[in-house]
Structure 1
Amino acid sequence: MRRILTIAGSDSSGGAGIQGDLRVITLLGAFGASVITALTAQTAGEVCAVEPVPAALVARQLEAVFADGPVNAIKTGMLARADTVRAVAAAVRGARVPTLVLDPVMRSTSGTRLLAEDAMQPLCTELLPLARVVTPNLAEAAELTGSGVRDVEGMERAARRLHEMGAASVLVTGGHLDGDPLDVLFDSGKCTLLAGRQTHRLGAHGSGCAHSSALATFLAMGMSVLAAASEAQRLVALAIGALPPSAGMATPLAAQDWCTRSEERAGVLAALRSAMDDLSRAKLGWLVPEVRTNLGYALPQARTRAEVAAFPGRITALAGRHVAVSPPAFGASRHIASVILAAMAHDRRSRAAMNIRSSPDILGACSSAGLRIAQFDRDDEPEPVRRHEGSSLDWGTRVALRRAGEVPDAICDRGAFGKEPMIRVLGQDPAEVIGKVRTIATCIKAPREEDLT
Structure 2
Amino acid sequence: MKQALSIASSDCSGGAGIQADLKTFAANGVYGMSVIVSVVAENTARVIGVEDISPTMIADQIDAIFEDIPVDAVKIGMLSKAPCMISVAKKIRQYAPKNVVIDPVMVAKNGYSLMDEDAVGTLIQEILPLADLLTPNIPEAEVLIQKKILTIADMQEAAKAICLMGPKAVLVKGGHRIEDVTDVLYDGKKFHHFSGHRIDTKNTHGTGCTYSSAIAANLALGTDMVESIRKAKVYVTEAIEHALELGKGCGPTNHFYKLYKQGLTQ
Settle same-fold status: TM greater than 0.5: yes
- Matched position secondary structure for 1:255: coil
In structure 1, what is the Cα distance between the partners aligned to 2:220 and 2:261?
Answer: 21
Shift of 1:252: 1.3
Equivalent position of 2:236 in the other structure: 236
What's the CA shift for 1:246? 8.1
Give the match for residue 73 of structure 2: 73
Residue number in structure 2 paired with 1:442: none
Cα gap change, 1:108/1:4 in structure 2, threshold over 3 Å: closer, same or farther?
same
State how 1:138-157 maps to structure 2 within 5 Å.
138-157=138-157
- Equivalent residues in 2 for 1:204-215, closer than 5 Å: 204-215=204-215
Task: Name the residue aligned to 2:26.
Answer: 26
Residue 256 of structure 2 aligns to a residue whose secondary structure is: helix
CA contact (8 A) 1:22 1:32 kept: yes
SS at match of 1:251: coil
1:270 is matched with: none
1:260 paired to 2:259: yes
The 1:116–1:196 alpha-carbon spacing in structure 2 relative to 1, beyond 3 Å, is same
Q: Mark the runs of 5 or more structure 2 residues left unpaired by the alignment.
A: none
Is the Cα contact below 8 Å between 1:202 and 1:248 reproduced in 2? no
**1:116 Cα deviation after fit:** 1.4
Give the whole-Å Cα distance in 1 for the aligned partners of 2:201 and 2:185. Answer: 21
With over 3 angstroms needed to count, the CA separation of the structure-2 counterparts of 1:84 and 1:215, relative to structure 1, is: same
Equivalents in 2 of 1:196, 1:263: separation in Å?
24
Q: For residues 194-246 of structure 1, what are the alpha-carbon distances to aligned partners after superposition, in whole Å with 9 as ceiling and x for unaligned? A: 11112123231011111010000001111111101111111111111113678
**1:260 maps to amino acid:** L
Structure ranking higher on relative contact order (CA contacts 8 Å, 6+ apart):
2
Secondary structure in 2 matching 1:155: helix
8 A contact 2:215–2:228 mirrored in 1: yes
Counterpart of 1:252 in 2: which secondary structure? coil
Aligned counterparts of 1:135 and 1:169: Cα–Cα separation in 2: 9
- Distance in 2 (alpha carbons) for counterparts of 1:244 and 1:70: 34
- 1:151 and 1:37 mapped to 2: Cα distance? 34
| Secondary structure of the corresponding residue to residue 68 of structure 1 | coil
1:165: which partner in 2?
165
RMSD of the TM alignment (CA)? 1.8
Kept in 2: contact 1:185–1:193 (CA 8 A): yes
Aligned to 2:61: 61
Listed one character per residue, the Cα deviations across residues 3-40 of structure 1 (whole Å, up to 9, x for unaligned) are: 11101111011111111110110121111110111111
Output the CA distance in 1 between the equivalents of 2:3 and 2:129: 22
Structure 2 Cα separation of the partners of residues 74 and 224 of structure 1: 15
Q: Where in structure 1 do 4 or more consecutive aligned residues deviate above 4 Å?
A: 244-248, 262-265
Cα distance 1:67–1:184, how it changes in 2: closer, same or farther (>3 A)?
Answer: same
Residue of structure 2 equivalent to 1:126 = 126
- TM-score (norm. length: structure 2): 0.95
Structure 1 residues 27, 205: closer, same or farther in 2, change over 3 A? same
> 3-state SS of the aligned residue for 1:38?
strand
Aligned position for 2:8: 8
Change (3 A) 1:245 1:42: closer
Contact 1:36-1:53 within 8 A present in 2 as well: yes
Matched residue SS, 1:51: strand
Alignment map for 1:35-434 (pairs within 5 Å):
35-243=35-243, 249-257=249-257, 259-261=258-260, 264=263, 266-267=265-266
In 2: Cα distance, 1:2 partner to 1:140 partner: 30
Aligned residue type for 1:192: H
TM superposition shift of 1:44? 1.2
Distance 2:178 2:217 in 1: 29
The CA distance in 2 between the partners of 1:247 and 1:72, in whole Å, is 35
1:204 match: secondary structure: coil
Shift of 1:76: 0.7
Deviation at 1:260, TM superposition (A): 2.8
Helix, strand or coil: the match of 2:163?
helix
Q: Are the structure 2 counterparts of residues 239 and 262 from structure 1 closer, same or farther at C-alpha, using a change threshold of 3 Å?
A: closer
Instruction: Answer whether contact 1:128 1:167 (CA < 8 A) is retained.
Output: yes
Query: Which structure has the greater CA radius of gyration?
Result: 1
Identity of aligned residues (%): 36
Q: Determine if contact 2:242/2:253 at 8 Å carries over to the other structure.
A: no
Cα distance in 2 between the residues matched to 1:191 and 1:76: 23
Residue identity opposite 1:197 in structure 2: H
Name the CA distance, whole Å, in 1 between partners of 2:30 and 2:244.
28
- 2:138 and 2:61 map into 1 onto residues whose CA distance is 31
**Separation of aligned partners in 2, 1:105 and 1:84:** 13
Structure 1 spans left out of the alignment, 5+ residues: 268-453
How far apart, CA to CA, are the structure 2 residues paired with 1:37 and 1:87?
A: 10
In structure 2, what is the Cα distance between the partners aligned to 1:244 and 1:119? 33
Give the length in aligned residue pairs.
266
Q: Is the 8 A contact 1:77 1:105 kept in 2?
A: yes
Q: Deviations along 1:310-349, whole A, 9 cap, x unmatched?
A: xxxxxxxxxxxxxxxxxxxxxxxxxxxxxxxxxxxxxxxx
Q: 1:88 to 1:263 in 2, by over 3 A?
A: same
Cα 1:225/1:63, change in 2 over 3 Å:
same
